[in-house]
Amino acid sequence: MKRYTKSGRYYKNYYLVECPQCHKPANVEKGILSCPNCMLLKNADDDISYKAYVKRFCPYCGKEIYAEQSGFKTPPKEISVTCSHCQEAIEYSPNIESYRKIYSLPQDTGLKKDPYFCLPLWLQTEVKGNIFWACNREHLQEIKEYVESDLRERLWPYLMTMTAKLPAFIKDAKNREDIIKGINRLEKK
Ligand SMILES: [Zn+2]
Ligand SMILES: [Zn+2]
């Protein structure tokens, strides 16, 4: 029987993702995307943009005006709005909202993504209709050791803590072989 030997450690501080430029594995760590293959380097904070909007009553004709402009790199103090009713243009100080331009897949495929750039994780595969995924290779190794451990070892405090974070299908002993096959596929990826 295999023994579980690891002490607990924090492995979720970086993610292996699919590079949006070359589609090879890239790293996301502390909001920085770096690809060792195509040298893409991006900071998630650089992708913050601002949306400015105005919702007022026009001082000329009294009708309601709603206008929004987006794509600002810094929040604008004033924007020029033309009333759609009387065509008068006025400068307003707008309400501001920030948003992050994220990469998105053509459709939502149900794939697991990183929290900064929304890029699909590199280490994910389907196991019996479930998405099995790991943040990075160390995380994959941890899950593998957990899945291969026997029930008695699973009651150890560290493994119990880890268990709380795992989806039920990974913990289900009858899925063990399929999960190990999935892990082997990902190890070769
Ligand atoms: Zn790349
Ligand atoms: Zn007006």
Same domain? For 74 and 130 the reply is no
Determine the distance separating the centroid of ligand 1 and the alpha carbon of 143, expressed in angstroms: 27
Q: Torsion-angle region of residue 71: left (phi > 0), alpha (psi -120 to 50) or beta?
A: left
User: Which of 4-13, 34-43, 171-180 is most confident?
Assistant: 34-43
pLDDT at position 2: 52
User: Which of 8-12, 124-128, 169-173 is most confident?
Assistant: 124-128
Determine the distance separating the centroid of ligand 1 and the alpha carbon of 178, expressed in angstroms: 31
Q: pLDDT > 70: what percent of the chain? A: 89
- The answer to the question of residue 81 being in a domain is yes
Q: What one-character DSSP code corresponds to residue 6?
A: P
- The answer to the question of residue 23 being in a domain is no
Determine the distance separating the centroid of ligand 1 and the alpha carbon of 38, expressed in angstroms: 4
Determine the distance separating the centroid of ligand 2 and the alpha carbon of 68, expressed in angstroms: 16
Same domain? For 133 and 181 the reply is yes
Tell me the pLDDT of the chain averaged across its residues: 87
**DSSP per-residue string spanning 119-185:** PBBSEEEEETTEEEEESSHHHHHHHHHHHHS-HHHHTSHHHHHHHHHS-HHHH-GGGHHHHHHHHHH
Determine the distance separating the centroid of ligand 2 and the alpha carbon of 75, expressed in angstroms: 25
pLDDT at position 158: 72
Owning domain of residue 168? 122-188
Using CA atoms, how far residue 51 sits from 55, 67, 69, 104, 140, in Å, is: 13, 11, 6, 19, 39
The rounded distance, in Å, linking the Cα atoms of 140 and 159 is 15
pLDDT at position 123: 96
Average pLDDT in the 42-51 region? Answer: 87
How many CB atoms neighbour CB 116 within 10 A?
Answer: 21
Closest ligand, as measured to the CA of 63: 2
Same domain? For 93 and 146 the reply is no
Same domain? For 130 and 90 the reply is no
Closest ligand, as measured to the CA of 84: 2
Q: Of the ranges 6-10, 111-115, 131-135, 164-168, which one carries the lowest mean pLDDT score?
A: 6-10
Determine the distance separating the centroid of ligand 2 and the alpha carbon of 54, expressed in angstroms: 13
Q: Residues within 5 Å of ion ligand 2 by Cβ?
A: 58, 60-61, 83, 85-86
Q: pTM of the predicted model, to two decimals?
A: 0.69
pLDDT at position 11: 62
Same domain? For 135 and 184 the reply is yes
- Report the domain count for the chain: 2
Cα-flanking dihedrals φ and ψ of residue 129, to 5°? 80, 0
- Can you state the angle between helices 176-188 and 137-148, rounded to 10 degrees? 150
Summarised one tens digit per residue, pLDDT across range 100-132 is 767 765 566 778 888 888 899 999 999 999 999
